[in-house]
Amino acid sequence: MFVFRRPIRFCEIDAARLVFFARFFDYCHEALEALFAEFPGGYPRMVQERDLGIPTVRLQADFRAPLRYGDVARFELHVLRIGTTSVTVKYEVKRDADDLLVATITHVIVLASFSSLRPRSIPDDLRALFAQHLVAGHSATLRPGLT
Amino acid sequence: MFVFRRPIRFCEIDAARLVFFARFFDYCHEALEALFAEFPGGYPRMVQERDLGIPTVRLQADFRAPLRYGDVARFELHVLRIGTTSVTVKYEVKRDADDLLVATITHVIVLASFSSLRPRSIPDDLRALFAQHLVAGHSATLRPGLT
Amino acid sequence: MFVFRRPIRFCEIDAARLVFFARFFDYCHEALEALFAEFPGGYPRMVQERDLGIPTVRLQADFRAPLRYGDVARFELHVLRIGTTSVTVKYEVKRDADDLLVATITHVIVLASFSSLRPRSIPDDLRALFAQHLVAGHSATLRPGLT
Amino acid sequence: MFVFRRPIRFCEIDAARLVFFARFFDYCHEALEALFAEFPGGYPRMVQERDLGIPTVRLQADFRAPLRYGDVARFELHVLRIGTTSVTVKYEVKRDADDLLVATITHVIVLASFSSLRPRSIPDDLRALFAQHLVAGHSATLRPGLT
């Protein structure tokens, strides 16, 4: 499990005084950027020097409780599946102060050429990084035929 | 079907020169705001005078093709289901110039008190508005037990 | 004077239930995009086919009154000065319903190569467009030495 | 001087592959939120328990160089003036990797009731916090008559 904590910013609140639902997906991307920060240069270097991007191909989200200004969102990131070119990530989003479950998000990204958007096989170092957070019962090697 | 056209703005592009995936959900909300504009005062008056809000409880999205600066996104909105308190909306997102299918999004909202967030029965005028865009084979009355 | 009306969107409100001050500058850019829409293809084509961009080099803003959800911002755009490569634009921002003055913004942009960011002389068609909105007492030709 | 470092996020880039100019003001507000984090509960508690807000009344910005994805913006915050109800803050924005001056921003905020927006005298603890970063030659006490 990779944990990413994100204080809610003043301008991310909507007219209902709640975090606007679309902002959660900004945070998902930030969580991935934080995960990639374990590599030198992080995601910017992946993009600029290795021409690697991670376009989103599928999202599913269930919202259980709202977040407000002053809250810290805690994204608990698990990898559900590592395919040939795609990775399925699950986030359990909790309110950090009291562990209230706020949302559950499943996010499928594809490793792709940043410039051409063509899918690419997941490089070994990235595969290893994702594998560190693979949940039990899911495997990178069990379903090699699926991408 | 309700149609909402949205030109991509300069600042909605990400570092990959594509519309950032989370922005699509901003547009979904704007499409609903445009739908509600058929009422006098639109969504702002619903919020301010009737204490009605539409928190999102579930989202599912499949992304097929990217959008770029200069594109116009066309959101074709259909209502799949009208429950007691919830509404399921489907958007087929197309690139307006050539009808390329860009994304398919399913969006479940709940009618709720804006101030307390408690679910509320869908008022008749709103129910009628959603019913105008209900697709064949789905019905507001067939599943009254489900909300 | 060029007029650009912009309804406030639900997600542009901050935790104080007001339009977040930085959003006003998003609207300024949108006002310019709307102005350029008088050319076929608008600003996207300027960028993509003519390699023309308009980086901001200076901003000054005075905020007098807040905007809220449900308001429509009316940007009254005047051109104060057209130099060799730069243009000074003034926006009087009003609440459309009652003409309340909300903000006054002065915005200096430079015409530049979109790809290299090097300043470029303002092309004649753009110069003519800006000149349509030049306020009395200011002139494109009076100060040719200044850029 | 208070220093706030802010990595540029993937979605803050515009179609020119630069940080969109309006985003700089988001960062200014974040810098202030970071400054207020020196108080227990930070700005959220100021807002929620003390009904204190900081609406922006004036901004001036000069942009010298662009920021790109992968850059870290370093905001060097100085207080230029502490009035009865207003504070003038200056940010020198630098590219953290090489100290390149990117922008200079002057930002005038007013201490106000968060709920009524009426100006309020700056409370002593906030005054002391701002005074820590007051630059030489400026003083909180020299111009008591000005707000």
D127 SS3 class = helix
Residue A128: other Cβ atoms inside 10 A: 12
Helix (H) or strand (E) holding D124: helix D124-131
Residues of D in contact with C23 (CB under 8 A): 22
Residues of D in contact with A44 (CB under 8 A): 69-70
Tell me whether A114 touches chain D (CB under 8 Å). Answer: no
- Contact map slice: C 34-53 vs D, CB within 8 A: 47, 53
Tell me whether D66 touches chain B (CB under 8 Å). Answer: no
Q: Which of D118, D116, D92, D115 lies closest to D27, judged by CA?
A: D92
pTM: 0.91
Interchain contact, B22 vs A15, CB within 8 Å:
no
Interchain contact, B14 vs D11, CB within 8 Å:
yes
Distance from first CA to last CA of chain B, Å, rounded? 22
Interchain contact, A48 vs D70, CB within 8 Å:
yes
Interchain contact, C22 vs D21, CB within 8 Å:
no
Q: What is the ipTM of this complex?
A: 0.91
In angstroms, the CA B30 to CA D4 distance is 34
Q: State which residue of chain D sits closest to A54, comparing Cα positions.
A: D10
Which residues, other chains included, contact B44 with Cβ-Cβ below 8 Å and sequence gap of 6+? Answer: C69, C70
| Per-residue pLDDT reduced to its tens digit, D61-114 | 999 999 999 999 999 999 999 999 999 999 999 999 999 999 999 999 999 998
- Tens place of pLDDT for every residue, chain B, 147 residues? 999 999 999 999 999 899 999 999 999 999 999 999 999 999 999 999 999 999 999 999 999 999 999 999 999 999 999 999 999 999 999 999 999 999 999 999 999 998 899 999 999 999 999 999 999 765 544 443 334
Q: Which of D129, D110, D128, D130 lies closest to D120, judged by CA?
A: D110
Q: Parallel, antiparallel, or unpaired for β B52-53 and B86-95?
A: unpaired
Tokens standing for residue B128 = 């009628």
| Per-residue pLDDT reduced to its tens digit, C12-52 | 999 889 999 999 999 999 999 999 999 999 999 999 999 99
Tokens standing for residue B38 = 């058929």
Tokens standing for residue A96 = 């950090």
What is the nearest CA distance from C15 to chain A, expressed in angstroms?
A: 5
HEC-encoded secondary structure of chain C: CEEEEEECCHHHECCCCCECCCHHHHHHHHHHHHHHCCCCCHHHHHHHHHCEECCEEEEEEEECCCCCCCCEEEEEEEEEEECCCEEEEEEEEEECCCCEEEEEEEEEEECEECCCCCECCCCHHHHHHHHCCECCCCCCCCCCCCC
